Structure 1
Amino acid sequence: MHLNTMNIYYMIFSIGILGYFIYQSFVYKNLFPKKKYIGWVLFRMIAILSLILVLFESEMVLTSKDTTTLFLVDRSLSCENHKEEIEKVINDNIKDKKNKDEIGVITFGKEPMIEVPLTKQIKEVNLQTKVEAQGTNIQKAIDYTLSYFPKNRNKRLILFTDGEENMGSIDEIKEKINHNHVNMSIYPLKNERGKDVELKEINLPTNIHIGENAPVTVHIRSNIGTQGEFYLFENDEKIIQENVKVEKGENEFTFNIPIKEKSTLKGEINFLEDENGKNNICTTYIDTKEKSRILLIGENKDIGNIRNLLGHLPVVYKECTIERASFDLNFLSSFDSICMVNVPYEKINKEFEKNINVCVKEQGTGLLFIGGENTFSLGGYKNTLFEKVLPVNCKMKENKKKPNTGLVLLIDVSGSMEDTANGVKKIEMAKEAAIRSVDILDQNDEIGILAFSDKLEWVVPMKSIKDKENIKKEVGRLKPGGGTLIQPGIYKGIEKLKNTDTKIKHMILLTDGQGEKEGYETIVEKLKEQKITLSTVALGQDSEKDVLKKLGDGTKGRNYIALDYYTIPEIFAKETYLASKKYLNQRTFTPKWVNSSFLEKTSIPSLKGYIGTGIKSGATLLLKSDEEDPILASWKYGLGNVVVWTSDLNGKWSYDLIMWDQFEKMWAKIINYTLGEQNSSMKIETNRENEDVEVFVDTGKKGDHQKIEGVLQGPNEKENIFFDGIGTGKFYKKISLSEVGEYVLTIKQKENGKVIQQDTKRIKIDYSPEDRMVQNKLDFFKFSTDGEYIHQDTNIFSLPIKNKNKGYLSLDFILLPVAILAFIGDIWIRKR
């Protein structure tokens, strides 16, 4: 039996009760006959002792005879060659299992997973679960296993591992193992790492300033003594190459380098005896800056005026074309604002688009989007993720009159349109192009689709665009076959369009071959006479480009050459927008002020064109056209300030504006607005130990209403981080980064729910935790848990159970009734 004797007050009270009972015994000794007195004392003693035992929470100790054995198997990369060995050991021992013995199998890498649920009936184990093998967390695996053990059985844990834990800490679980009476056995797996030299980390001082020489400390870990080369690159430029000698164990070297703002430092080692090249690179970042940084993206002909403007501002800028722009998140995060000038959507990498969204929304990077003929609807931005970032929609509002359009698509369906490139047929791209045109046209427009080869077929007879879905189905009837006769198709199109009651009449001619050589002068005259424009799309090198050019030029249309089948839908979309004259507005007008916001209201010079868009709800319209369309608009997208200019800045539409004496002043304010509040007074310090990063934030402010929150954007997903307060204006958070790749941590200071300042820190994990050299703690772990090593010939189920599971049964259910019966007996005797 077990007594809880921890409460001294219960002991004093119990002694008092017993003393009082003894005193009563002497008082009543001569009042009762001897037998009656003995019965009374006996009943009174039983009652009092029962209550005292209840008071002390008396329990009966029960020892279990049944045992549960759990096999905990390390399946991380460093143990992947031991699968068959582990299966053999487990299966050989299962044969000796008693019928009442219960077993289970749990595998682990970064996280534990149940391989075989608890069972008494099993003949063979095959390890099949796919664990996250890029890490070894023995602590988490054992913790999970302890919670999986049944409560009322003896616990035997068989751990298969090489002991190379690189996540968590095995030291923190040993007390829990002992407390849970677990019988620990370890089957050590051999890990032949070989000769290894690891570039562990590169450290910089906490407080560094631009232009100063600062010490860079390089930590190299090695299991051999050897010589090799160390290289240090700054923004991919080699700045240090040194021959270094390392001893077995930890090695440290220091180099001085000049500090440049927002730099990337990458270290690399090369040792001839090193047999593991996976852990030879380490990256760190210099996030210090004195000037705001701007990334300028666009063609040289479009960005000249912005370049000149930035050259007169106290900023650092980098320029590139969209094709050469890095879409890397860490690269984009190093800029405070990104300026894109007349960039077509088709040239934007999907990763770039996703990361721009992250930078603006989550990290507060500004965005200045400047228009031109390759932007908004004409540039293919409609219904894209990029459009969501902008304060305007690519589709204009429906509350104003627009000229209706009659459009005829003349599509070559000769036999050559059956040709395939990269698994896609020309004809399928032509169908997609026709569907894109249908989507763009409005309800009051009309369309006809004429297929031509050596015969003509109206796949879609000239009709209103109202039933778009049925028209799209009819497009599917386009099928290739026959020769190429262009002129009959054009004449058919003219006949249809001249009888169409639309303000705009336009044809798009797509062909991949050569038709008639002569007779086009008459066609051009006919088109002019009926005020029909015609644009041509020459598909491939074999098409009659010269003839098609004469057709387009002669009718004031446009000419395209599509060398890539995939560009056909984009060309048709852009041409449909241009033909409808609803989005490309080329006329002289004077912008009107709606809101001044961060600008001063002054007389704005006239512009000669812009791309039509629609203002979004929640956005601020600063300047509008004479037809109420946005010219300059802004809004806050997440944390970032975004500004859109729907005209150009290359001088085609904006010459008068560029020559205006207030141009530089106005655009300096626009650029400054996109930069937002970039100067943070927060002091941020990071300490990194392998994949664990400790972040300390000091706001320098007093107050109970401030909070520090963060957004961690990693290789695969983002995570919201909430910091713990550790003092006035001081906050702390420990973050574990297990995936290889680049991370951006955006830290936001909030007061009363509002973000008042923010900053970013960049971190990179260059190689898997499994490639790190770590201290093997199996010997210490075995000793501290009173465990033992086992080997292949060990009969696991015959191992003695030293720590038996102890259960405790409360005796209250017996003692309380006994006390009540004893008191009844006490009363009964005294009343006799």
Structure 2
Amino acid sequence: MLDSLGNLRLTFLQPWWLLLIPVLLPPLVLLSMRSLAGLGKARRAAAILLRASVVSLIALALSDPQLVRRNESLTTIFLLDASRSIPGDLQAPMLQFINRAIAQHQRPEDRAGVVVFGKESKVESPPAPYTETLTGVQSTIDSEYTDLASAMKLALATFPDDTARRIVVLSDGNENRGDAYEQALAAAGLDVQVDVLPVDYNYDREVLVEKIALPPDVKKGETVNINVVVRAAAPARGRLEIYQKADNSTVPIDTLDDVELQRGVNVFRLKQEITDPNFYTYSAQFIPEEGLRRGLRADRAMNNMAEGFTQYRGEANVLLIEGTANEHEELVDALRENELAVTTLAAGDVTGAGLVGGDPLPTDLSELQKYDAIILANVPKDAFTDAQQELIANATHDQGIGLLMIGGETSFGAGGWMNTPIEKALPVDMQIPALKVKGKAAMVMIMHASEIPEGNYWQAVVAQEALKTLSSYDYAGLLHWQGQESWLFTLREIGGAKSAMLRAIDRMTPGDMPDMNPSLAMAGRALRSKQDAMSRHVIIISDGDPTAPTPPVIRQLKNAKVTVTTVLTAAHGNDIRSATVMQQLAQQTNGRFYNVTNPRALPRIYQKEARLISRPLIFEGPPPAWNVTMAYQSEPLLGLPQDLPPISGLVLASVKENELVEVPITSPNPTGQLNPVLAHWNYGLGRAVAFTSDAGRKWTTQWPGWDSYTAFWSQVVRWALRPVDRGNLTVSLRREEGQIKVVVDAIDAESDFLNFLQFQGIVNRPDRALDAPAERLELQQIAPGKYEGTIDNAEARGNYFVTLGYRGPDGQQGVITTGLSVPYSDEYRDLRSNPVLLESLADATGGEVFQWEAGPDGRLSGDRTAMAADVFRRDPDVQPPRSYRPIWHWMLFAAALVFVGDVGVRRIAPDFERIRRHLADSWQQLRGREVAPREEYMEKLRSRKAEVGQQIDRTRAATRFEAPTVPPPPGGPSPTADPTATGAAPDRPRPSGNSGRGTGLGPDRPKEAPGEADTYTNRLLKAKKKVWEEREQEKGKEKGDDHGRPS
């Protein structure tokens, strides 16, 4: 208690307000002595003292008084390095050090906390008086990097304000993010010491394959020079294997056996002839000789491999993805005839087992690099994953690869491409005006809880995907089981309610439906009510366990032209009866049956079903075919004839409201709207084209025989191709300190510098999220013909692709695509620890540098090290923290209380003698003695008794009344006449109208003495008397009126 009080002192933040006390108190005392002269000496002195206290307390409150407490407690936060660079055999001693240091040195008033860090930092244990023993790191962090600076920053933010603070760093000192020394200077400014325990290691037998140096582009007939750079910490022997990857096929191209590495940098040079245009990735791996037999403890295998890539550009290469194999032979032949290389892939079909029967579609940006354009020809959306759709759209926007979509029954909106990245890239929208819709689609989804893993999740996913595929003019409804069949949302036009429907599906929890009959009957009635629906469809997902629908319900569905698609999931033990029920229901209603063995196929099934009922988005006119109109010749159509062959159908779409969109070819049918047939625009670095009819099949049967068919398609596709570099530009990429330097050297054909070029650069990182916006790259000219830019935070492993579009002042333009591979994290590049950095942190903050102690077995001991390292010591050079507590509000409260006392002293004159006697009597009573009544007290009692007796006598006298003397009215009966003779009631006694009127007393009753108390009884008698007088006056008036009235 005394120690606690000894750590307290009072200070004032605005002490100049204290001058009010000597300035105001003297005149206050003088004025108060004069104004309070009528009070006694004691009361006047007390009043003046209280007034002076009020003024003094207010002045103290204005000076902002603070109670300052000096806190002797200490908070220590340990920063634990959990990155990959820390050797595995040193992680346990680091935890031991923390546990032993807390147990050995922490005082009861101290606190301890732990922060773990890698790429990011997290609080493993917040500062507390008691910290549980650490057995391992529970926080999840990215261990591929080391950011000691962020850990120090987090620790500074975690410290409490009322204790001394210390940071203890357990790390190797190899940081590859942030600036720890900068944070140490900030800590020193806050009086925070940083102690360090360096984790020492030295990979003296490490081998690193640093990089593969390749030219970014090679031309026809060139030989590729492959340079493999290997760095060794010591002489080593092993085998070097080199591979080439193209089109998802990896083949070894060379193996160097019995390679001898010298200490330092070793370069191995190979030559490779490339004959086929493609995008090639080369990888090199070094396998140490000792590692072949038993493995090297000092060598880390993660940094023994590196990659690089190059591209051989031949003739323009086009990727055509179609829904069915060989569906577009005429188009492919026309493009190849015009010296365009074409690769065709069939997308396959969606089944219960997933996407089957098709070719593997690209899944990585490197697989698309060899193509200059991508054609999506009558292929549905459900053939692609969301990632693949983003990949194609980004390839157009960021890499300049052209994108073309050709119509058909499974293309554009009819193929479910609404609200996708592909729609965003195209010059047309799939949502069409209501005037164009010839008929609408109506779909009811019936959800039955299925026993597949994460069943509720997949139920929601499939319903949402199906809903997204429908247009805003279609009808949608969803039935599920909630103790009974009920609508999650009734069948209605989607319109602007799609977002609300999607949110409702998120909250959906379907139950186990016992019977299909009621839900199918409800769906049938709802679908029949939509008379403008051109197609009516039900999709039911179930395990086949509910009771099968009855024949009457089936007939009602068939009569209403309602098709039912059944999706069987997780049938009980592959129950044949369940599969039969679901299959027969689909067959009887002309629907489709899916037996799902892979839950991931469910979304695609629902997308496909929603797409198949979207026939309203297709316009097919009655024969004959009609002519389309070429309004003008845009750049892709220059030189072509104006007269085009007729078409007999197209997929409806609307033109994007953007001034970059050009629509040179339109269709007059359907009437009333602008119906684009060919539209194109620039999208980012690339170009996109939409052709809403097909390419020579069902709707354009006369086009393949047209003389300009080959010229038409070759010109349109060539316009969309990725622009090629028309200048002599060389791009080099170099990675250093987590950044990639991009340097461009630009010269023309005459070897003159190209100056004042404007670059539009886009970077595709390996860790880029699918929906993340493109990263821009700015290049600045730093010398004649030389431009430079920087890609920051290039730390993720993988391929970095850089696309540079440029334009010169003389109209020259082009697009260059290059890249760089980061084979492994920088954590594997450092061969030894960096204690110098850690020592600099301690020196900057006045901290200590601890050294590891070895145990009996010779290994590092965290326990022994902690015994000698007092991380909770009190440093005399560091001032203990002080906490400030404002008390001005208490001063104001005290001033208010004293002011009340001042008023009381001036207004109340206390009888001190009476108070003294009362206290004496109370003391006697507390001691159990009887206190006799005092004489003056008895006298007061007798006086009061006499007064009360007089009041009672007066009250009794007031209750006696005399009969009133009333003079007979003129001409009336005599006073002696019997009042009953006339039938009138006898008069009641009334108070007399003599001099006693107004008091209620008779003539012999003496008047009340002046000042006598007006009791309740007196007031009551006065009121009664007043009432009788008023009644008497009224009665006399009535009699006077009767006498004056003629008979």
Please give the TM-score of this superposition, normalised by the length of structure 1.
0.68
- 1:771 maps to 828
Q: Secondary structure at the match of 1:623?
A: strand
Q: Is the CA contact 2:733–2:743 (under 8 Å) kept in the aligned structure 1?
A: yes
Unaligned runs of 5+ in 1: 1-66, 553-558, 806-832
Q: Is the CA contact 2:203–2:832 (under 8 Å) kept in the aligned structure 1?
A: no
After TM superposition, list the pairs within 5 Å mapping 1:69-84 onto structure 2: 73-79=80-86, 81=88, 82-83=90-91
More displaced stretch, 296-305 vs 464-473: 464-473
Distance 2:473 2:158 in 1: 63
Q: Is 1:442 matched up with 2:473?
A: yes
- 1:376 maps to 412
Q: Is 1:318 matched up with 2:343?
A: yes
Distance 1:70 1:504 in 2: 69
User: CA shift at 1:105, angstroms?
Assistant: 7.7
Q: Is the CA contact 1:712–1:721 (under 8 Å) kept in the aligned structure 2?
A: no
Q: Secondary structure at the match of 1:300?
A: coil
- 1:28 maps to none
* Equivalent residue in structure 2 for 1:727, among 763, 780, 783: 783
Q: Is the CA contact 2:620–2:648 (under 8 Å) kept in the aligned structure 1?
A: no
Q: Is the CA contact 1:743–1:763 (under 8 Å) kept in the aligned structure 2?
A: yes
Q: Is 1:695 matched up with 2:707?
A: no
Distance 2:188 2:147 in 1: 19
Q: Is 1:644 matched up with 2:644?
A: no
User: CA shift at 1:501, angstroms?
Assistant: 9.5
Change (3 A) 1:169 1:231: farther
- 1:365 maps to 401
Q: Is the CA contact 2:202–2:832 (under 8 Å) kept in the aligned structure 1?
A: no
- 1:232 maps to 243
- 2:580 maps to 542
Task: State the AA in 2 paired with 1:237.
Answer: V
- 1:570 maps to 607
After TM superposition, list the pairs within 5 Å mapping 1:122-141 onto structure 2: 132-136=142-146
After TM superposition, list the pairs within 5 Å mapping 1:130-279 onto structure 2: 132-136=142-146, 160-164=170-174, 187-191=197-201, 196-204=206-214, 208-222=218-232, 223=234, 225-235=236-246, 236-247=250-261, 249=263, 250-259=265-274, 261=277, 262-271=279-288, 273-274=290-291, 275=295, 276-279=300-303
Q: Secondary structure at the match of 1:715?
A: coil
Q: Is the CA contact 1:593–1:624 (under 8 Å) kept in the aligned structure 2?
A: yes
Q: Is the CA contact 1:361–1:637 (under 8 Å) kept in the aligned structure 2?
A: yes
Distance 2:831 2:711 in 1: 58
- 2:667 maps to 625
- 2:681 maps to 635
Unaligned runs of 5+ in 2: 1-73, 348-358, 569-578, 597-601, 748-752, 853-864, 880-1047
Q: Secondary structure at the match of 1:352?
A: helix
- 1:790 maps to 851
Distance 2:491 2:146 in 1: 68
- 1:592 maps to 629
**Cα deviation digits, residues 702-746 of structure 1 (max 9, x gap):** 555745644343313554333343212312234442112332222
- 1:661 maps to 707
User: CA shift at 1:73, angstroms?
Assistant: 4.8
Distance 2:872 2:509 in 1: 74
**Cα deviation digits, residues 244-301 of structure 1 (max 9, x gap):** 4233533322111114543221223334533443233321110352433322222323
After TM superposition, list the pairs within 5 Å mapping 1:191-590 onto structure 2: 191=201, 196-204=206-214, 208-222=218-232, 223=234, 225-235=236-246, 236-247=250-261, 249=263, 250-259=265-274, 261=277, 262-271=279-288, 273-274=290-291, 275=295, 276-298=300-322, 299-322=324-347, 324-400=360-436, 402-404=437-439, 420-424=451-455, 432=463, 436=467, 440=471, 442=473, 480-482=513-515, 502=531, 506-508=535-537, 535-537=563-565, 539=567, 541-543=579-581, 552=590, 559-564=591-596, 566=603, 569-578=606-615, 580=616, 588-590=625-627
Q: Is the CA contact 2:413–2:617 (under 8 Å) kept in the aligned structure 1?
A: no
Task: State the AA in 2 paired with 1:687.
Answer: R
Distance 1:419 1:784 in 2: 60
Distance 2:524 2:409 in 1: 31
Greater C-alpha radius of gyration: 2
Change (3 A) 1:272 1:652: farther
User: CA shift at 1:775, angstroms?
Assistant: 5.0
**Cα deviation digits, residues 2-40 of structure 1 (max 9, x gap):** xxxxxxxxxxxxxxxxxxxxxxxxxxxxxxxxxxxxxxx
Distance 2:874 2:82 in 1: 27
* Equivalent residue in structure 2 for 1:609, among 624, 633, 649: 649
Q: Secondary structure at the match of 2:744?
A: strand
Change (3 A) 1:129 1:741: same
Q: Is the CA contact 1:372–1:648 (under 8 Å) kept in the aligned structure 2?
A: yes
Q: Is the CA contact 1:109–1:132 (under 8 Å) kept in the aligned structure 2?
A: yes
Q: Is the CA contact 2:466–2:607 (under 8 Å) kept in the aligned structure 1?
A: no
Task: State the AA in 1 paired with 2:666.
Answer: K
Distance 1:109 1:458 in 2: 50
Change (3 A) 1:180 1:612: closer
More displaced stretch, 587-596 vs 773-782: 773-782
Distance 2:537 2:382 in 1: 21
Identity of aligned residues (%): 19
Q: Secondary structure at the match of 2:326?
A: helix
Q: Is the CA contact 1:174–1:781 (under 8 Å) kept in the aligned structure 2?
A: no
User: CA shift at 1:365, angstroms?
Assistant: 1.9
- 1:85 maps to 93
Change (3 A) 1:183 1:733: farther
After TM superposition, list the pairs within 5 Å mapping 1:711-750 onto structure 2: 711-717=763-769, 719-735=775-791, 736-749=793-806
Distance 1:798 1:180 in 2: 18
Change (3 A) 1:750 1:88: farther
Distance 2:92 2:565 in 1: 63
Q: Is the CA contact 1:586–1:609 (under 8 Å) kept in the aligned structure 2?
A: no
Change (3 A) 1:244 1:596: farther
* Equivalent residue in structure 2 for 1:109, among 115, 118, 133: 118
RMSD: 5.8
Distance 1:297 1:641 in 2: 18
Distance 2:868 2:798 in 1: 43
User: CA shift at 1:695, angstroms?
Assistant: 1.8
- 1:685 maps to 732
More displaced stretch, 686-695 vs 254-263: 686-695
Distance 1:605 1:577 in 2: 27
- 2:1013 maps to none
Q: Secondary structure at the match of 1:656?
A: coil
Write 1 or 2 for the structure with the bigger share of strand: 1
Task: State the AA in 1 paired with 2:427.
Answer: P
Distance 2:779 2:189 in 1: 32
Q: Is the CA contact 1:187–1:790 (under 8 Å) kept in the aligned structure 2?
A: yes
Task: State the AA in 1 paired with 2:606.
Answer: P
